[in-house]
């Protein structure tokens, strides 16, 4: 499997999806619906999904998308490689027009995220990585490597990605164990990207997410030197489970455990 070639296909798919999203973003017609879980769905979600699926098709790999059909585990459990897609992550941010939403495209191999693209259409930033290839951010035609911060959990003033207004009890307890932490707020999978490029050291997510919310971002964090670990076990997050709901997890920069 030639990851460099697949990365270019994924970046192109994300770019075209972003163009479709921005068409709707700059219009007055979001055509908002409610999905079964009461989360919002817009015309932009649907247009981005269609664009991504069309561009990924020549790869001859199956696609599991938040906005695609519900594929039973009996079928997808047989897949060796497949694309996991969130065409518009942060639909609530999109509706608020705050720019903090992304297109997420990941390549999964035997339960592991091995390639990821996270593109923020309004910010004009595209984050990407593949296994053993490093993590990068591209702005317009330029690109630069990104690296997570090195830190110790005992450091004072660690930056933690969290919501100032919606800290649940588990997150509060986590924050209470830190020394004068500073909160950094961000929407969608950009929370992961803040850690990956050194804008924060920690992102505790002790609330429900789905696999397509995190798959692309995870490999970018890991290639930047960080980790995405299940809160209860400390194990690496995995994908294509029978239930696509993620466990609670912690995103970390480069933790120095020697002192």
Residues 4, 9, 13, CA angle at the centre, nearest 5°? Answer: 145
pTM here is 0.94
CA torsion, points 98, 169, 196, 152, in degrees to nearest 10? Answer: 140
Class of CATH domain 150-255? alpha beta
Architecture of domain 3-145: 2-Layer Sandwich (3.30)
Do the two domains 3-145 and 150-255 of this chain adopt the same fold? no
pLDDT band at 27 (very low <50, low <70, confident <90, very high): confident
Kindly tell me the burial class for residue 221, based on how many C-beta atoms sit within 10 Å of its own C-beta (0-12, 13-18, 19 or more).
Answer: buried
3-state per-residue secondary structure call for 28-73: CCCCCEECCCCCEECHHHHHHHHHHHHHHHHHCCCEEECCCCCCCH
pLDDT of residue 9: 97
Scan for tokens 């098709």, then name that residue: 57
**147 pLDDT higher than 90:** yes
pLDDT of residue 218: 98
Scan for tokens 């207004």, then name that residue: 165
pLDDT of residue 31: 67
Rounded CA-CA distance 211/100 in Å is 19
| Number of alpha helices (DSSP H) and beta strands (DSSP E) in the chain | 7, 16
Q: What residue ranges do the domains of the chain occupy?
A: 3-145, 150-255
pLDDT band at 140 (very low <50, low <70, confident <90, very high): confident
Quick: pLDDT tens for 190-246: 999 999 999 999 999 999 999 999 999 999 999 999 999 999 999 999 999 999 999
């Amino acid at each position: 499997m030639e990851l460099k070639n697949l990365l270019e296909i994924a970046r192109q798919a994300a770019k075209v999806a972003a163009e479709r999203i921005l068409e709707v973003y700059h219009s007055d017609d979001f055509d908002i619906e409610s999905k079964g879980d009461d989360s919002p769905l817009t015309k932009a979600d649907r247009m981005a999904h269609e664009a991504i699926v069309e561009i990924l098709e020549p790869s001859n790999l199956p696609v599991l998308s938040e906005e695609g059909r519900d594929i039973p585990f009996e079928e997808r459990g047989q897949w060796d490689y497949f694309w996991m897609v969130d065409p518009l992550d942060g639909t609530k941010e999109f509706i608020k027009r705050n720019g903090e939403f992304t297109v997420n495209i990941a390549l999964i191999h035997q339960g592991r995220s091995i390639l990821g693209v996270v593109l923020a259409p309004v910010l004009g930033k595209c984050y990407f990585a593949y296994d053993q290839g490093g993590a990068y951010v591209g702005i317009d035609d330029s690109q630069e490597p990104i690296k997570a911060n090195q830190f110790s959990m005992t450091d004072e003033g660690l930056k933690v990605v969290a919501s100032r207004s919606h800290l649940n009890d588990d997150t509060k307890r986590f924050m209470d164990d830190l020394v004068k932490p500073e909160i950094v707020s961000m929407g969608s999978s950009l929370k992961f990207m803040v850690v990956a490029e050194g804008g924060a050291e920690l992102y505790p997510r002790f609330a429900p997410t789905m696999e397509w919310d995190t798959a692309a971002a995870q490999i970018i964090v890991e290639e930047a030197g960080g980790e995405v670990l299940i809160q209860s076990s400390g194990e690496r997050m995995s994908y294509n489970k029978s239930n696509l709901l993620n466990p609670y997890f912690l995103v970390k920069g480069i933790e120095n455990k020697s002192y």
